[in-house]
């Protein structure tokens, strides 16, 4: 066989191989699109109920109540707790918030509010009792 003819044959074989690869890759691509289109649903074709199942509504700062203690804003999302806290006097509310939200002990709270430590402890326990009664629906 002629070397030039042999090279030409190799080129034609490679050309045919490349064309087949491109042809079957195209078939695979069209099959994948067809498979995907059977599973996909257009948003405009969905009902309101189906759309609601797929969506999530962020409720950031929707019903939050803010109390300012020691120059920091404390957000409380529970409406019942926020309402019960708003009924309390500012000192009592500050003591409870400092204790639970800031993690301060009675001595640290007493230093900030210029009170005796025992007074803070007494007011904290008394306030917690009032909060419990308020949250259980007992009028004080």
* Residue 10 forms part of a structural domain: yes
**Domain assignment present for 83:** yes
Q: Work out how many domains the chain is built from and give that number.
A: 2
Is the pTM higher than 0.85? The answer reads no
Q: What pLDDT score does 12 carry?
A: 92
Q: Are residues 82 and 116 in the same domain?
A: yes
**How many other CB atoms are found less than 10 A from the CB of residue 84?**
19
User: Do residues 34 and 74 share a domain?
Assistant: no
In a shared domain, residues 70 and 116: yes
- Higher local confidence (pLDDT), 40 or 29: 29
Task: Please write down the long-range contacts of 109-117, taking CB distance under 8 Å and 24 or more positions apart.
Answer: 112/70
Spell out a b/e string for 41-57, using b for 16 or more CB atoms within 10 Å of the CB, else e.
Answer: eeeeeeeeeeeeeeeee
User: What confidence score (pLDDT) does residue 95 get?
Assistant: 92
Say if 44 falls within a structural domain: no
32-79: pLDDT as tens digits: 999 998 888 888 888 888 888 888 777 666 677 888 888 888 888 888
> Residue 113 is part of which domain span?
65-135
Q: Minimal CA–CA distance to 93: which of 107, 103, 105, 81?
A: 81
């Amino acid at each position: 066989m002629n070397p030039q003819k042999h090279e030409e044959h190799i080129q034609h074989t490679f050309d045919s191989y490349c064309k087949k690869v491109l042809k079957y890759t195209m078939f695979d691509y069209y099959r994948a699109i067809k498979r995907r289109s059977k599973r996909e649903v257009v948003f405009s074709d969905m009902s309101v109920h189906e759309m609601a199942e797929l969506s999530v509504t962020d409720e950031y700062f929707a019903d939050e109540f803010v109390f300012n203690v020691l120059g920091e804003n404390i957000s409380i999302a529970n409406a019942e707790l926020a309402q019960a806290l708003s009924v309390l006097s500012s000192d009592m509310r500050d003591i409870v918030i400092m204790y639970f939200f800031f993690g301060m002990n009675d001595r640290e709270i007493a230093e900030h509010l210029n009170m005796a430590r025992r007074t803070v402890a007494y007011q904290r326990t008394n306030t917690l009792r009032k909060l419990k009664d308020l949250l259980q629906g007992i009028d004080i």
